[in-house]
A = this chain, B = another copy of it.
Amino acid sequence: MKLPNQTEGLRFRLVLKAGFALGPGKADLLQAIRDTGSLAAAGSRLSMSPKRVWTLVREMNTAFQAALVETEKGGTGGGGSARLTDTGRLVLDRYRAMESEANAVIAAGVAELRGLMRE
């Protein structure tokens, strides 16, 4: 389990519709699935339980018109291979681009606030 407030920087969560947000957890999961080709390996890389991985994947796959993640064996999230669909790659790329654009535009403000903090 990662502690969200331990890593400095912007935590960037987009509420795309009521009840569905795209934030660092889902983005990191999409990226880990893209990199590892497996839900089990992605979960292990992120210290995320198989149940949590599967919950997030299902949430993403049902929120969009097209699935973001394709699995070879459906249903359990435990084994088999997994990969991002074209839509999955697009969503991940757009999220990362927005995150980095937002980070760039706030960099000076962040530095100013950090300068006001106690050591």
Contact = CB atoms under 8 A, between A and B. Distances in A.
Given A5-B20, A101-B105, A109-B94, A116 B66 contact: yes
A93 B90 CA distance: 34
A76 B79 CA distance: 53
A1 interface: no
Interface residues of A, number: 44
Interface in A100-114: 101-102, 105-106, 109-110, 112-114
A8 B18 contact: yes
A14 B10 CA distance: 5
Q: Copy number of this protein in the oligomer? A: 2
Interface in A47-93: 62-66, 87, 90-91
A12 to B, nearest CB: 7
25 contacts: A4-B21, A5-B15, A5-B20, A5-B21, A7-B15, A8-B17, A8-B18, A10-B12, A11-B13, A11-B14, A11-B23, A12-B12, A16-B110, A16-B117, A17-B114, A17-B117, A20-B117, A22-B113, A63-B117, A63-B118, A64-B116, A65-B117, A66-B116, A94-B113, A102-B106
